[in-house]
Amino acid sequence: MVNSQFTHHEIESSSKRIHLYTSSVTGLTCINVDLDLPTVSGYFALATECFDDKGEPHTLEHLVFLGSEKWPYKGVLDSLANRAFAQGTNAWTDTDHTAYTIETVGQEGFLRLLPIFVDHILYPTLTPSGCYTEVHHINGKGEDAGVVYSEMQGVENTGPSIMSLYTQRAIHDEKSGYRSETGGILNDVRNLSVAEIQNYHAHYYVPHNLVLVITGRLEQQDLMSTLEDVDKNIQAHGTLDKSAWKRPWLESNPQVKLKESRTEVLDFPEEDESMGEVSISWPGPSCTDHLDVCALDLVGQYLTHSAISPLQDGMVEIEDPLCTDIDFYTSDRLKSIISASLASVPTEMLEDAEKKFFEILQQTQSSDIDMKRMQALIVKDKLKVKNAVESDPHSAFSTPIIVDYVYGSRDGASLRESLDDEKYLDIVSKWSSAEWQEFIRRWLLDNPHLTILGKPSAEMAKKVQEDEVARIAAQVEKLGDKGLSDLEKRLHHAQTTNDMPIPNDLIQNFPVPSVDGINFIRPKSARGGLEQKGLPKLSNSVQELVNTDDCQIPLSIQFDDIAPSEFASISLYLTCTTVEKDLLPYIGVLLHSFFLVPVERDGKEMTYEEVVEQLELDTISYSASFGAGSGFNELVRIKLKVEVSKYATGIAWINDLLYNSILDGERIALTISKILNDLPSYKRDGDTVASSVLGALQLDASKSAARTANLLDQTKFLEQLDEELEEDEDAVIAQFEKLRGQLARYENMRVHVVAEVAKLSKPVSTWSSFGPRKQAKRPRADSIVLNDIPLSRDLLTPYAAAPSGDCRVVTISTDSCYSQHFAKGLADFNHPDLPALFVITSYLNAMEGLLWKYIRGSGLAYGADLKVDTESGLVFFSIYRSPDAFLAWDKAREIMIQLRDGKLDIDEMMIDGAKSSMVYDFVSRESTPGAAAHQSYVNQVLKKQSSEYRRDLLKKIAAVTLPEMKEMLGKYLVGLFEPEKTNTVIVCGTKKSAEQVKGFSEAGFRTTNSSLEDFEKEYIK
């Protein structure tokens, strides 16, 4: 099977077989993890090292997709990927490596695309015109643009970026690549040349520095045959001289320069000066020192993982929180950085937070370690490893494999160690308290550290925007009218050159795989307890198991079987329609504190610390939130994941926390403080603010629970609630008790259990005692009528129900623009128009499709997407990270009108790609047993669709015709660009707001402009 030019090894990890192939001629490496899943994922990674801030690695992440030696057409790779049951391609740039990704349904399209992808990586065109549009250019208005430039413009002046870059500079010496901003600093990106990018590529993008990590099921003979073809193509380019080759990182031997501890105060631009950030960093071990890395991860969990951890207990769970959360992690580097990040620190307490952090650290190290808790963390870590392999296997394997390739032995000898987490967990499980104390002392107390106090500055925010306006003005003046005109022509010429048509035969000769070969995951569903109206009776082996234990209980339960599995996921869904409107805003606070309250159990009170400690022992994970993970945000979802043997324990916890928790003023006040302290950080993100403003305008606050949990609504409500709590604690607690009584009713409840049902002891009857402890008599099951699932379409404001040309421009401290546009769509999960509407939307959204080509490809925005939302009955168009949202929207409008009027054709060959992408979209949502089980519940119970709905929909999508697509375009999507049919929200910086107001007003919108603060005063009641 194996050609002699490839060496082949096999290892096993977590019961999965891993194949390692290395070409003895070119050095190309391929690692395939055999996973029995419907999707195959590829991570094609190169070790990349950069010694400046020009962003060469980042530019290549983009430029590779503009064509290759054999396939010299921009977008051909993504166009072919769309035909391979994929949804385009992707990539990321990290400090120490660059990775290119593709995920397909099945192996056929994957293996057909693999040689083309490798050709793009190793032999890209890297043309001046491609660099001009994709990296940086100056447009006809004198503004700097380009996809890479726009992306970095959105992050360069944020607090986390400023603090992270300073940390890299302070810890690593001047010769270390770890100092670099590999994404590129704007001033340096503006001066980056094509030759520098080409030289960087020539040095690092070589076959002996490339690993093809593939996770998923492949026939090894087919893989081997494909690898041989790839290797032959590489060999045809001649033999590379490896004598001067230096392996990145290992041979440059980066050094750490931080020799003593110090504290720095760094300003970052932010109009709201109330909350800052603190980061504390230490030089860490090599990522190849697996024992130290494992132990540090456990120390981080011990210190910060839960509310009873020393740092959380002493800094977060206090009357006046010093921060809202603490994150502790170690980077995967040859010279790693150990980091602790303190989120949302009151600005006046930045220094106090640092001092308290080290006081607690010193106290923890000088006292005996709680060995019971440490052992529990180790046991749980072992379970989390198994859970990751079950719930997210692609990432569980690809991440450590890439790290090992960058820093381990290239022959695969070190890979087994990198994947053997359990080995190191077993070692540290034998450590004594003294050994843990010594370890903490060595790495966190005696080791020099750098503390950065990140301080928000409104003055700096103003200066950054003023300086940028002045720089652009000076640039415009220097260029003059002729210079600007020449630049516009140059940009147009570059775009025309880049957009050379792809020959039809290249696309036509790449066949779309057959849907018949898809290995769908089909969890068997069963139902027990209370019958739900509108759901058919089920008949299968799992239902038979459930029937043997079925009983009369006032709860409706759906089971989805995912054999084999060691875990049970239990979700309790609650409708909020019985909750009085004045109590709706309280739900968010209740959910935030749901697992952090005292509980009365067996006649005794468990303190909240005891509750948290026992939850950590009994569960893999737990959460309380709005939504079903895929919309339905009017539902509350309480979810626990446990070992299957602890099924009854999980149910008991949900019961106790819902009915038997003890609400007290101290815990409520603490929750309010933490949420309020977090809000300013959310308001710094333009995309989050745009969604929040839109939500505040669209949803009726008197009916919608999701609306009352909106970022903007919660701000005002929590401030009022905090005052009320100080004035009359009993009255506030009474409100929460009243809320609980209205929410925790049987008619509001639906249960979903995901497990290997045969392993559940008493799957239905275990729920028999579920309910309030003090209820006089359990209601008869046949007396319970379940409330309907609430849908956002029924809770819209007049503004959302009848969009008519309203445009709100809202300003915050940001360098980019973000926008949301919506119009009337389809309000039926089973509407016959949906298949054709999905296909035309997929066609327009496709990578290298029309929106991508004319908006992202022209530097008008980093992202632009259409979305069909049948729950709300609306269609959306969003623009992400744009230098000018109006120009991006206007270009999209031009495309839509031309398509409608027949002046721009829909490419019939690309329709197959759009349909193929829809196959990936649906199957990828069900790509693991757990995900398939969740989707089964959403489809059958929440949407009232058949268990085969998605499979049937794929058949309908395959039958969609071009005339049907054109009809859907005119019927639903063009309205997004007709002012009388759409409403718009723009979030941007103050200096950009005037041009947004001008553009949208002239386009026919009723446009208003305000700061976020003024918007809140006007619309949040």
pLDDT digits (tens, 9 = 90+) for 971-1013: 999 999 999 999 999 999 998 999 999 999 999 999 999 999 9
Q: Do 828 and 784 have their domain in common?
A: no
Q: Does residue 564 have a cis peptide bond before it, meaning omega lies within 30 degrees of 0?
A: yes
Same domain? 227 vs 365: no
Helix, strand or coil for residue 626?
strand
Is the same domain home to 88 and 153? Answer: yes
| pLDDT, position 185 | 97
Quick check: 579 and 705 in contact, CB under 8 A? yes
> Which residue's entry shows tokens 């030759």?
195
Q: Write the CATH number for 759.
A: 3.30.830.10
Chosen domain end from 463, 478, 508: 508
Residue type for position 982: T
pLDDT at 267 over 90: yes
User: Quick one: how far is CA 919 from the chain centroid?
Assistant: 21
Task: Please list the helix, strand and coil fractions of the chain in percent, rounded to the nearest 5, in that order.
Answer: 50, 20, 30
* CA proximity to 542, closest of 529, 528, 521, 530: 528
The per-residue pLDDT for range 169-222, each reduced to its tens digit, is 999 999 999 999 999 999 999 999 999 999 999 999 999 999 999 999 999 999
856 and 988: one domain?
yes
Q: What percent of the chain has pLDDT over 90?
A: 90
Sheet holding 29-33, edge to edge: 6-13, 16-23, 29-33, 210-215, 39-47, 97-105, 90-93
Per residue in 722-748, is it b (16+ CB within 10 Å) or e — as a string?
A: beebeeeeeebbebbeebbeebbbbeb
Identify which of 204, 232, 205 has the alpha carbon closest to the alpha carbon of residue 6: 232
Q: 661 has which bridge partners?
A: 599
Cβ atoms < 10 Å from Cβ of 602: 7
Cα angle for residues 939, 942, 946 (degrees, 5° grid): 35
Using alpha carbons, select from 945, 851, 860 the residue that is nearest to residue 893: 851
Percent of the chain's residues with pLDDT above 70: 99
Quick one: 783 and 824 in the same domain? Answer: no
Q: Are residues 891 and 959 in the same domain?
A: yes
Within a domain: 268: no
Residue 899 covered by a domain? yes
- Residue 876 backbone dihedrals phi, psi, to 5 degrees: -125, 150
In a domain, 279, yes or no: no
1: pLDDT strictly greater than 60: no
pLDDT, average across residues 893-905 = 96
Print the domain residue range for 532: 524-585+616-792
Task: Give this prediction's pTM.
Answer: 0.93
Q: Residue 481 falls within a domain, yes or no?
A: no
* Residue 819 sits in the same domain as residue 737: no
Task: Output the pLDDT for position 776.
Answer: 58
Torsion, Cα 123 127 133 135, to 10 degrees, reads: 60
Q: What's residue 88's pLDDT? A: 85
CA distance 121 to 212: 11
Tell me how far apart the alpha carbons of residues 684 and 815 are, in angstroms, rounded to a whole number.
11
Top-confidence residue, 968 or 499:
968
Domain-embedded: residue 338: yes
The verdict on residue 39 lying in a domain is yes
Tens of pLDDT along 461-483? 999 999 999 999 999 999 999 99
Average pLDDT over residues 718-741: 96
Contact between 149 and 181 under an 8 Å Cβ cutoff? The reply is no
- The reply to whether 850 and 949 lie within a common domain is yes
Asked if residue 399 is part of any domain, the answer here is yes
Domain final position from 792, 820, 842:
792
At which of 792, 817, 848 does a domain end? 792
Residue-wise pLDDT for 696-705, tens only, equals 999 999 999 9
Where are any strands of DSSP class E within 476-566?
Answer: 524-529, 556-561
Same domain, 380 and 417: yes
**In-domain check, residue 76:** yes
Number of domains in the chain: 4
Amino acid 797: pLDDT: 97
Q: How far apart are CA 580 and CA 703, in angstroms?
A: 9
Does 785 share its domain with 806? no
Query: For residues 485 and 494, what is the distance between their CA atoms, to the nearest angstrom?
Result: 14
Predicted local confidence at residue 699, as pLDDT = 97
860 plus 911 within the same structural domain: yes
Exposure class string for 31-63: b at 16+ Cβ within 10 A, else e: bbbbbebbbbbbbbbbbbbbebbbbbbbbbbbb
Alpha-carbon distances of 501 from 72, 86, 116, 209, 848, rounded to whole Å: 10, 22, 18, 32, 12
Which pLDDT score, from 0 to 100, does residue 15 have?
87
Is a pLDDT exceeding 60 seen at residue 348?
yes
Closest C-alpha to 622, from 238, 842, 305: 305
State whether 503 and 543 are in the same domain.
no
- The encoded tokens of residue 67 equal 């064509």
